[in-house]
Structure 1
Amino acid sequence: MQIKADPLCADAFAPYGDVLDAEGTPDRIINQGMCGRHHDRARLSFEDGRAGVSIFNAIPRSLPYVCDLLERHPLGSQCFVPMSSHPFLVIVARDDHNRPGAVRAFITNGAQAINFHQGVWHGVLTPLHGPGLFAVIDRIGEGSNLEEVMLDAPVTVIA
């Protein structure tokens, strides 16, 4: 199957997670008027654990991209904040009886981060340009917080 990656926007991504960006008027002005704060932009969860910040360095991929594996984190959310201004590919699927359902794909605009809600099926980190450096905020704790599923039929993502 082949799907087209759509530009990432908050409304379309809402069933899967949060889009973090600095669009619009800041919620607060802080630091003596020198900083706009776009406040509380992601629904983070860390069931029976704590928040941790890690640095991921992923190898860039290109389109068309063949996705044959999805994963989810049943015990917490996972937030990806790019450390460069390059777009990256985001692949998601709704849950269908503990298996991934229909797959969707998005491309960020280079100034967006994303947060996958707890339990959301998603593709692996897929930068489209180097460096593939991301700060990742996710659950640190006991228990298995990773489920991986090979897709019955790979999905090819095109631009």
Structure 2
Amino acid sequence: MATPIKIRLNGLDMVVDAVPLELEAFKPFGDAVANPQPNLHPAMANDTAGMPFDAIVANQGTAIKYQHVSRIENLYDQAPSGRTGVAVSNMFTCASRALPRRLEVGVEREIFPVTVLERHPFTSQTFVPLRADPQSRYLVVVAPSLSPSAQDQQLPVPSSRPPGTIANRELPGRGLPDLKGLRAFIATTNQAVTYGAGTWHSPMVALGPADKAIDFFVFQFANEVSVEDCQEVLFGPSTVTVRLQPQSRASKL
């Protein structure tokens, strides 16, 4: 990983409430992926006209195929090093974070201090939980980019997509994260998430009981040039906090 950039927050004091992950709300940052019709059994899908994602019947009538539920991007042809990006698949086993708690008007809430964001400028990155567990969730923290500045002028980013590319969003550009636009989402393990190329995001934050972990299949491209694969920014003593859904003290008894 390239040397992180340190950002001075200059007195910024922010609290962002995490909300459930939904496809439309996440579109500016990437793709939220889940079964769009979980109550529809393939045996009942005789007519797919009008179904989401141009669905079709597949596998001799035993499956519904929802098409292009997430856009995977490889933009390494624009990397300054000239090194080709190749497909990489990994497994991340992420331990549940022990989050601090804050008591607010008799209600206890978990909080997550945001101290680091990263991005992969030339590739999308997809996290797929490998087990559905109603006790397990994960936190997705993302931010848009500021306009370019002298502080980020050494960071390489792609300038455009290939002609004819179908995309749900514009490339975010070279700038550092715009913390005032930071968003936070709670995802279930029935949902996968794709961070769009160049999207600032927190490293994965698994939630749940302290002795639990979530396994993720992770797919992206990489060329092993650190500043082209991953760029990172650090914030000093954090004054940017994500607040999770309230949990009353009585519910813990």
TM-score normalised to the size of structure 2?
Answer: 0.59
**Which residues in structure 2 correspond to 1:110-121 (within 5 Å)?**
110-121=189-200
Structure 2 distance, partners of 1:154, 1:60, is 22
- Distance change in 2, residues 1:148/1:20 (3 Å): same
Map of 2:229 onto structure 1: 145
In structure 2, how many angstroms separate the alpha carbons of the residues matched to 1:84 and 1:33? 26
Matched residues in 2 for 1:92 and 1:133: separation?
A: 21
Match of residue 66 from structure 1: 113
2:18 paired residue number: 5
Q: Of 142, 154, 162, which aligns to 1:92? A: 142
> Aligned-pair distance for 1:126?
0.8
Aligned to 1:52: 88
- Give the length in aligned residue pairs: 159
Q: Aligned partners of 1:104, 1:154: CA distance in 2, in Å?
A: 15
Q: 118-127 or 41-50: which moved more?
A: 41-50
For the residues of structure 2 that align with 1:127 and 1:67, how far apart are their CA atoms? 14
Letter in 2 for 1:155: V
- Unaligned stretches of 5+ residues in structure 2: 1-13, 38-50, 77-84, 100-109, 148-174, 245-253
Give me the identity figure in percent.
Answer: 32
Matched, 1:23 2:36: yes
**Could you tell me the TM-score, scaled by structure 1's length?**
0.92
Gaps of 5+ in 1: none
1:47 to partner: Cα distance: 2.2
| Equivalence for 2:67 | 39
Larger radius of gyration: 2
1:80–1:137 CA contact under 8 A, matched in 2: yes
CA distance in 2, matches of 1:117, 1:54: 18
Q: Comparing 90-99 with 43-52, which one deviates more in the overlay?
A: 43-52
- Please give the per-residue CA displacement for 1:74-95, whole angstroms capped at 9, x wherever unaligned: 1111011011223210000000
Residue 64 of structure 1, CA deviation: 1.5
Larger strand percent? 1
Supply the distance in 2 between the matched residues of 1:15 and 1:78 (Cα, whole angstroms).
15
Contact 1:84/1:131 (8 A) holds in 2:
no
Moved more, 92-101 or 19-28: 19-28
CA RMSD of aligned residues (A): 1.6
